[in-house]
Structure 1
Amino acid sequence: MKWKQQSFHQLSNQKLYQILQLRLEVFVVEQECAYPELDGHDESSTHLWLENKNDIVAYCRLVPAGDKYPYISIGRVVVNPLYRSQGYARQLMDKAIEVIRTQGTAAEIFLQGQEHLRHFYGSFGFEEISEVYMDDGIPHVDMLMKLD
């Protein structure tokens, strides 16, 4: 297995298709949530994923500060259903935080997490900064992690 990190313009058509297919499979079909998955923020984001042969095991995007939120943010966090319950979500979050720390330009990391995952994100040091609210029919909470 190997970690990959690319800008939107570095992604091959095939890899972009795989990423979007996984995101749609989980966020739209599995979670039964019709929402604008293609939101105009992929082009400015860094795409981070763990690859096993040609499979995407886990994926997220790092959106730069000022693009979607005032802070750099981690979003579209997803683990391929074939690889769940094997610790890849934790590895993905560790890697995403490491990448952001290495860039050295952020004092905080933001994420808009599904409410049922707030304790998972909290285990990395993210703190809730909003009440639970509905977003596209799914309870979410805004969370912020201060880097030191």
Structure 2
Amino acid sequence: MILTHRVKAFQELTLNELYELLKLRSEVFVVEQNCVFQDMDDKDQKCHHVMLYSDGVLVGYSRLVPAGVFYKEMAIGRVVTAPSVRGKGLGKVLMELSIDYCRQLFGPGAIRLGAQTYALGFYSSLGFVAEGDTYDEDGIEHIEMVRKN
């Protein structure tokens, strides 16, 4: 398995990259999780997009959100790995890349995310701490998490 990645601002994405990342998000968030929601939320245009490839195939994605767009802090959102690669450690690779690129693009500061509660352990292992109460987002229980350093 040869891993590569790209990080691009929305305006830099090719049509094929945009199609691939929207297809992956839809495959997991809409079809697999059986969740009808408006994925295109007018925030993608303000974000950077991390795309993780295995042997040239998109297998992971996240979007990096500048401070003030969603939360007062910078954020990582729409974190997704393809069902075909789960359990192979690529979620961790994707998140480590996402954290590193947040720092490179937006500077120091806290990083916030809205985690599906089943993934609390995963995000905790990366230094994120749960903050606040759980909430329902599109029928799935979530909780905000923050990584301070």
1:99 is displaced (CA, Å) by 1.2
SS in structure 2 of the partner of residue 32 of structure 1: coil
Residues 104 and 14 from structure 1, CA distance in 2 versus in 1: closer, same or farther, beyond 3 angstroms? closer
Q: Which of 83, 99, 102 in structure 2 is aligned with 1:100?
A: 102
Unaligned runs of 5+ in 2: none
Report if the CA contact (8 A) 2:4-2:56 is conserved. Answer: no
2:109 is equivalent to residue 111 of structure 1: no
Q: Which of 1, 7, 10 in structure 1 is aligned with 2:9?
A: 7
Report if the CA contact (8 A) 1:125-1:145 is conserved. Answer: yes
Report if the CA contact (8 A) 1:72-1:106 is conserved. Answer: no
Partner in structure 1 of residue 129 of structure 2 = 127
Superimposed CA distance per residue, residues 33-92 of structure 1 (whole angstroms, 9 cap, x where no aligned partner) = 001100111001100011134411111000110011111100000001111110000111
SS in structure 1 of the partner of residue 36 of structure 2: coil
> Which 4+ residue blocks in structure 1 deviate beyond 4 angstroms?
none
The alignment's C-alpha RMSD in Å is: 1.1
Q: Matched residue pairs, number?
A: 147
Structure 2: which amino acid aligns with 1:129? E
Q: Which of 2, 16, 19 in structure 2 is aligned with 1:17?
A: 19
Unaligned runs of 5+ in 1: none
Partner in structure 2 of residue 34 of structure 1 = 36
1:43 and 1:111 map into 2 onto residues whose CA distance is 18
Between stretches 74-83 and 44-53, larger displacement belongs to 44-53
2:53 is equivalent to residue 51 of structure 1: yes
Structure 2: which amino acid aligns with 1:11? L
Structure 2: which amino acid aligns with 1:23? R
Report if the CA contact (8 A) 2:25-2:80 is conserved. Answer: yes
1:106 and 1:33 map into 2 onto residues whose CA distance is 34
**Percentage of identical aligned residues:** 37
Partner in structure 1 of residue 77 of structure 2 = 75
